[in-house]
Amino acid sequence: MAYEPQKSDNFTFGLWTMGNPGRDPFGEPVRKGFTPVEMVQELGKLGAYGVNFHDNDLVPFGSSAAEQDRIVAEFKTALSDNGMTVPMATTNLFGHPVFKDGAFTSNDSRVRAFALQKVMRSMDLGYDLGARVYVFWGGREGAEVDAGKDAVTAIARMRDGMNFLCEYSKSQGYDYKFALEAKPNEPRGDIYLPTTGAMLGFIATLAYPEMVGVNPEVAHETISGLNFYHAVAQAVDAGKLFHVDLNGQKVGRFDQDLRFGQEDAKNAFFLVRLLESYGFTGMKHFDAHALRTSDRADVIEFAKGCMRTYLILKEKAKQFDADPVVQEILAHLNTSGDAESDTLLDGGFTKEKGDALKSRVFDVDALTAKSLPYEKLDQRTFEILHGVA
Ligand code: GCO
Ligand code: MN
Ligand code: MN
């Protein structure tokens, strides 16, 4: 059947996504969330590749070693019975009250040390279950009152934490890749390193930058009104797109975590086209949850919808690239220029080229007069996306 997810699509969900019982800051849970084992069963049937988890999604905070062993054994059985894997793991460094003023960036060295201990243990658990990507989302690494925390110190503490954990990973012989996930706010008033671009700048300052990349999320750039497609493009250019969190979000709202493609289908389309055309081989992780109005049957529809939308947009990207009208416009837009300019620009600066360029005479009016039929192109894009073309 068309748009049926395959293992090769690398679609994953977090245990916290379908596990979400529909609680929000204003109201109690409205449904029974899917348990880890139920999620593995349901998603296995739907054709997903795997599930990801925070340590405490699987093993509740404060569990004994014996309880952890029992839970992990049951979970491993469910994974193998349902042909599912765990490609990514992460740590909950935001839920417990001890992290109310940050984990790696807490002013209290005991809290920072406890956070590192929690991550090391969680890395062990994730690795044992097969995870090779480890995500860091610092939900509480921020502030409402800048008077209370020095932001330069906070970034330095974040760096110390990441360097420590890179060393830990190496010392254990783990081949983890770390993926840093930026978010501008929520739950903190402001979260440090708020964008994917900020994370990329930070990574360059780490002791082992080659181990560390990013996990951009649709909702996180979109909350601030930024263009997510551009954010991912920068990560691709840097060779740092290790993982991606797909969902839907309206600009300027609270963190909605909507079904992938629910809002701004055009941006989702250019995102999918980017991932496909640049051969992204990582996990496409749906970090979303069903609406609070959904019952359990509708949660399944939500999960199916995320994957189906991706596959529809993938097909639309093929149609777009093969479309004769699009091709003609793109050829017009991209094939201008002349041999003299190409020679000057290719291969970078030389003294001779610099001299030649400085004395060159340009016909600026002719350059300005070139037509740019973006109206036509964007309308054609709209029609392709809406099944009219
Ligand atoms: C959010 C974040 C989280 C992270 C998760 C994995 O806005 O709550 O997106 O869902 O992705 O903690 O690190
Ligand atoms: Mn999010
Ligand atoms: Mn996320």
Residue having the nearest C-alpha atom to atom 1 of ligand 1: 139
The reported pLDDT for the residue numbered 255 is: 96
Q: Which DSSP symbol is given to 370?
A: -
Binding site membership of 141 for ligand 1 (Cβ less than 6 Å): no
Binding site membership of 99 for ligand 1 (Cβ less than 6 Å): no
Residue having the nearest C-alpha atom to atom 2 of ligand 1: 137
Q: How far apart are CA 41 and CA 80, in angstroms?
A: 10
Residue having the nearest C-alpha atom to atom 4 of ligand 1: 137
The neighbour count for residue 65, using CB atoms within 10 Å, is 8
The neighbour count for residue 227, using CB atoms within 10 Å, is 14
Ligand closest to Cα of 14 equals 1
Topology (CATH) of 7-315: TIM Barrel (3.20.20)
Residue ranges near ligand 3 (ion) with Cβ within 5 Å: 217, 245, 287
355 CA distance to ligand 1 centroid (A)?
Answer: 52
The CA–CA distances, whole Å, from 163 to 34, 299, 307 equal: 36, 39, 35
Domain definitions of the chain by residue range = 7-315, 324-385
Q: Report residues of the chain scoring pLDDT below 50.
A: none
Say if residues 72 and 126 touch (Cβ distance below 8 Å): no
217 CA distance to ligand 3 centroid (A)?
Answer: 6
Binding site membership of 90 for ligand 1 (Cβ less than 6 Å): yes
The reported pLDDT for the residue numbered 1 is: 57
Helices marked H in the chain: 15-18, 36-46, 55-58, 65-81, 109-128, 151-171, 196-203, 218-223, 228-237, 265-277, 296-322, 324-334, 339-345, 351-359, 364-369, 374-385
Say if residues 192 and 149 touch (Cβ distance below 8 Å): no
Binding site membership of 135 for ligand 1 (Cβ less than 6 Å): yes
| pLDDT single digits (tens) 101-134 | 999 999 999 999 999 999 999 999 999 999 999 9
Give me the amino acid identity at 267: N
